[in-house]
A and B are shown apart, each in its own frame.
Chain A
Amino acid sequence: MSPNKFFKHEGPWSDANDPLMCSDTGDWRTKRPVVDKDTCIFCGFCAIYCPIQVMEMVENSHFTPDLAFCKGCGICAKECPKNAISMIAEGDF
Chain B
Amino acid sequence: MNIKAEAKAKAGSQIKVITGNAAAAIGAKLVRPDVVAAYPITPQTEIIEQISKFHANGEMDCELITVEGENSAMNAVMAASLAGGRVFTATSSWGLVFMYDAVLATAGARAPVVMVNVNRETPGIIAVSCGQQDMISTRDAGWIFLIAEDCQEVLDLVLQAYRLAEDYDIQVPVMVHYDGFYLSYLSEGVDVPFQEDVDRFLSVLNDQPERTKLVPGGKLGCGTHGILGGYLELRHKHVSAMERSKAKFEQIDKEFQEIFGRSYGGQIEEYRMDDADVVLVGSGSMCGTIKTVIDEKRDAGVKVGLLKIRMYRPFPGEAMVEALKGKKAIGVVDRSLCFGFKGGPIYTELKAFETQLDGSKMVSFIDGIANTDITTANIGQMIDATCDLAEGKDVREVTWVSYPEAQEEGGL
Contacts and interface: CB of A to CB of B under 8 A. Distances in A.
Interface of A: 1-2, 4-7, 9-17
A16 B220 contact: yes
Given A2-B236, A16-B220, A10 B110 contact: yes
B186 to A, nearest CB: 38
Given A11-B109, A14-B221, A17-B219, A1 B169 contact: yes
A13 B226 contact: no
A16 B169 CA distance: 24
Given A11-B109, A11-B110, A6 B230 contact: yes
B222 A11 contact: yes
Contacts of B226: 12
B171 A11 contact: yes
B107 to A, nearest CB: 10
Contacts of A17: 219-220
A19 to B, nearest CB: 12
A10 B229 contact: no
Interface in B189-221: 211-212, 219-221
19 contacts: A2-B236, A2-B237, A2-B241, A5-B229, A5-B233, A6-B227, A7-B234, A9-B220, A10-B237, A11-B109, A12-B108, A12-B110, A12-B226, A13-B222, A13-B224, A14-B224, A15-B219, A17-B219, A17-B220
A24 to B, nearest CB: 19
Nearest to A3: B233
Interface string B179-194: 0000000000000000
Nearest to B236: A2
Nearest to A15: B220
B240 interface: yes
A3 to B, nearest CB: 8
Given A1-B169, A2-B237, A2-B240, A13 B212 contact: yes
Interface size range on B against A: 20 to 34
Enumerate the 6 nearest inter-chain pairs by beta-carbon distance, A residue then B residue, closest first. A6-B230, A11-B110, A14-B224, A16-B219, A2-B237, A9-B212
Contacts of B219: 15-17
Contacts of A10: 110, 171, 211-212, 237, 241
A10 B226 CA distance: 13
B223 interface: yes
A12 B224 contact: yes
Contacts of B171: 10-11
B82 to A, nearest CB: 8
A5 B236 CA distance: 12
Contact of A6 (B211, B221, B223, B229): B229
A7 B233 contact: yes
Nearest to B170: A10
Nearest to B107: A11
Contacts of A13: 212, 220-222, 224
A10 to B, nearest CB: 6
